[in-house]
Amino acid sequence: MNDMGKALESVREREPLVQCITNFVTVNDCANIILACGGSPSMAHDKREVEESVAVSQALVCNMGAIEDTEAMILAGKEANRRGIPVVLDPVAVGGTQLRRDSAKQLLENVKFTAIRGNASEIKYLAGQETLGSGVDVSREDAVTSVSLLKTADLVKNLAISTGSVIALSGESDIISDGKETVILKNGCATMSRITGSGCMVTSMIGAFCGAMPDDGITAVCSAMAAMGIAGEKAEADRIAKGTGNATFRTDLIDAVFNMTGEGLNKGARYEIIR
Ligand SMILES: Nc1ncnc2c1ncn2[C@@H]1O[C@H](COP(=O)(O)OP(=O)(O)OP(=O)(O)O)[C@@H](O)[C@H]1O
Ligand SMILES: Cc1ncsc1CCO
Ligand SMILES: [Mg+2]
C-alpha cells in the first residue's frame, strides 16, 4: 500500500468525475461526500443515458440499495470495463431477498469490479457463507469480533482472489484485501452505524479515490476508508462536545472529510498490514 495522504491530495488535484447509480435514501449524502473529498459527482441513473454518462467519467459506483437499476448498472459497468474506468460495487442487503441475490449474481457475471465494499453480512454472503443479515444493516451474528477477526480476514482475502476485486468489509474494524496485502483499519466510531448511509458514503468515496488512482486499488480503498473513519472520530468528538445527535453527526462527518488534509489522514490512520 502507498501513501494515503498523497492519495487524498491526488483526488483533490484530479477532481475525478464519479458516476453513481445509487439509491434514493442516501443519494444526496453520496454526492456531497464525493464533493467533500475533492471529486465531482453525477447521479444519472436512467438506462437510456448511463453509458454516455460513464464514458466521460473517471469512476462508476453501483449501489444496490434501491435495486431497480440493475439493468442500468450492467450497461454502465460494461461500458466502464471497455474503457478501463474503475467500477465499485456496494451490494446493499445482498443476501436479504431473492431479487438482490439474483441482481448481484448478474452484476458479478457481467461486470469486473475494481472494488467491492459491504458490511460483514453482505461480504460474507458474497463469499458463499450463510448469513443472517436480512436488512441493510449488519446482523449481530455476522458482526466481526476480536475472536473472528483473523478468520474473517482470510475470507476477505480469498474473496479478493476469486473476484479479482479489492474487497472491503466495513465495521468496527475494516478489513481490506486485494489478495496480496490484507489491511485491518481501526478508525471510526459506533455512531457511524446510527446514521443511514455511512456505508453508501464510504463506497462513493472509494469511487472518487479509484478514479484518481485507477492503477492502485488497494491504496485507493484503504485511503478512502481511513479518511471516513477519521472523519467519524472528529464528528463523534463534535457530537460529545455539543450534545447533539445523529442528524448533526451526519453533517459533521461530511464537514470533517471536507476539512481533512493529506497530513491529517496520515497522522490519524490506525492500521496494520497482515501478509
Ligand atoms: N462500531 C463501529 N466502529 C467504528 N467504525 C464503524 C463502526 N460501525 C461502522 N463503522 C464505520 O462506518 C462506515 C460504514 O460501515 P457500515 O459497516 O456501517 O456500512 P453499511 O452497513 O453498509 O452502512 P449503510 O448501508 O447504512 O450505508 C465504515 O467507514 C465503518 O468503518
Ligand atoms: C436504509 C436503506 N434502504 C435501502 S438503501 C438504504 C441506505 C443504506 O444502505
Ligand atoms: Mg450499506
Domain assignments of the chain as residue spans, ordered by start: 4-274
Cβ(42) to ligand 1 under 6 A? no
Residue 2 near residue 216, CB atoms below 8 Å = yes
207: confidence class by pLDDT, cuts 50, 70, 90? very high
Cβ(119) to ligand 1 under 6 A? yes
pTM: 0.98
133: confidence class by pLDDT, cuts 50, 70, 90? low
> DSSP 3-state assignment of 156?
helix
Residue 88 has pLDDT above 90, yes or no: yes
Ligand 3 centre to CA of 118 (Å) is 6
The C-alpha cell that represents 176 in the structure block:
481490506
pLDDT per position as a tens digit, 227-248: 999 999 999 999 999 999 999 9
Residue 60 near residue 19, CB atoms below 8 Å = yes
pLDDT per position as a tens digit, 156-189: 999 999 999 999 999 999 999 999 999 999 999 9
130: confidence class by pLDDT, cuts 50, 70, 90? confident
The pLDDT of 210-226, averaged and rounded, is: 98
Q: For residue 132, what pLDDT is reported?
A: 74
CATH architecture of 4-274: 3-Layer(aba) Sandwich (3.40)
Cβ(25) to ligand 2 under 6 A? yes
The C-alpha cell that represents 92 in the structure block:
446493499
The C-alpha cell that represents 12 in the structure block:
483533490
Within 13 Å of residue 215, how many CA atoms lie on the same side as its CB? 0
The C-alpha cell that represents 157 in the structure block:
482475502
